[in-house]
């Protein structure tokens, strides 16, 4: 792991020592109105089988605002920013590749109390933006270029909140992400070889994610994962009688996160 990731994990552990003395709020199970902010550290892997691999550590920040209306209905707005310097393997190798991710989501749902547990199904819409900068020369002399990816999707999931005693609450969450549409822009002009930039449309794929959180007072700590599987894109001309597509790919990311609720 990188020194930055280790430092962040140490900070999360230090914060955990403070939670044990946080004031209790009765372990309320229902969704609450308010703002949550968090920091996260993760391990990331993007793979185009038999073609390219990008992997490495990431750090990020999240913000979530929840509004609870009448009859336990709620709406939630989420944002995430994540940054990593990744290692590339494909047409040669390259290290410290800048990689930025921005994700924005909105969802609505309702709380249901059953068997001493609160269940919270929800449905929403999301957009995921990824910018990867592979400009430079790989170990074999291949010329890299920037890539920008955009996914539109519909999250469908549920969370539950279960009291553990002592003011602690167990709050797992599972989600399926129905892929609506994607676009991959490859800045082939970065190569200086006379190719134009190209846009490939992606129409098939899916995602899923999960979160295991433990909450007490205003604090929560969680382990989480995210997975995307996207099929081949359409085919577009790239000049000189050649065509290009964005190959089928898989993204896997898992990490830890600490949040504070205001």
pLDDT tens by residue, 143-167: 999 999 999 999 999 999 999 988 8
Tell me which residue of 176, 164, 167 sits closest to 217, measured CA to CA: 167
pLDDT tens by residue, 79-118: 999 999 999 999 999 999 999 999 999 999 999 998 889 9
pLDDT surpasses 90 at 20: no
Q: What is the pLDDT of residue 15?
A: 46
Tell me which residue of 233, 234, 229 sits closest to 249, measured CA to CA: 229
Could you tell me the residue range of the domain that residue 67 belongs to?
Answer: 3-261
pLDDT tens by residue, 223-232: 999 999 999 9
Share of residues in the chain with pLDDT > 70 (%): 89
Q: What is the pLDDT of residue 165?
A: 87
Q: What is the pLDDT of residue 13?
A: 47
State the pTM of this model. Answer: 0.87
Q: For the chain, how long is the longest CA-to-CA vector?
A: 69
The residue assigned the tokens 């990431």 is: 58
CATH no. for residue 122? Answer: 2.40.128.100
**For the chain, how many structural domains are there in total?**
1
Share of residues in the chain with pLDDT > 90 (%): 85
How far is it, in rounded angstroms, from Cα 94 to Cα 89? 7
């Amino acid at each position: 792991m990188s020194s930055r990731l280790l430092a962040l994990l140490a900070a999360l552990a230090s914060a955990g020592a403070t939670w044990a003395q946080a004031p209790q709020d009765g372990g309320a199970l229902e969704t609450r109105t308010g703002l949550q902010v968090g920091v996260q550290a993760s391990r990331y892997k993007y793979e185009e089988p038999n073609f390219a691999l990008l992997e490495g550590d990431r750090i990020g920040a999240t913000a979530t605002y929840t509004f609870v209306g009448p009859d336990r209905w709620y709406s939630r707005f989420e944002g995430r920013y994540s940054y990593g310097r990744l290692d590339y393997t494909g047409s040669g190798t390259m290290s410290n590749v800048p990689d930025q991710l921005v994700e924005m989501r909105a969802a609505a749902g309702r709380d249901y109390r059953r068997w001493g547990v609160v269940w919270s199904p929800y449905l929403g819409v999301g957009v995921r933006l990824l910018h990867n900068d592979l400009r430079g020369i790989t170990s074999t002399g291949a010329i890299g270029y920037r890539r920008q990816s955009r996914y539109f999707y519909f999250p469908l999931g549920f969370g539950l909140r279960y009291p553990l005693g002592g003011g602690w609450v167990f709050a797992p969450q599972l989600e399926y992400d129905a892929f609506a549409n994607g676009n991959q822009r490859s800045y082939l002009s970065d190569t200086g070889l006379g190719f134009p930039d190209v846009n490939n449309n992606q129409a098939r794929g899916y995602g899923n994610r999960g979160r295991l959180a433990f909450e007490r007072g205003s604090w929560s700590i969680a382990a989480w994962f995210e997975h995307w599987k996207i099929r081949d894109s359409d085919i577009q001309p790239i000049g000189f009688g050649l065509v290009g597509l964005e190959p089928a790919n898989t993204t896997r990311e898992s990490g830890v996160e600490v949040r504070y609720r205001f």
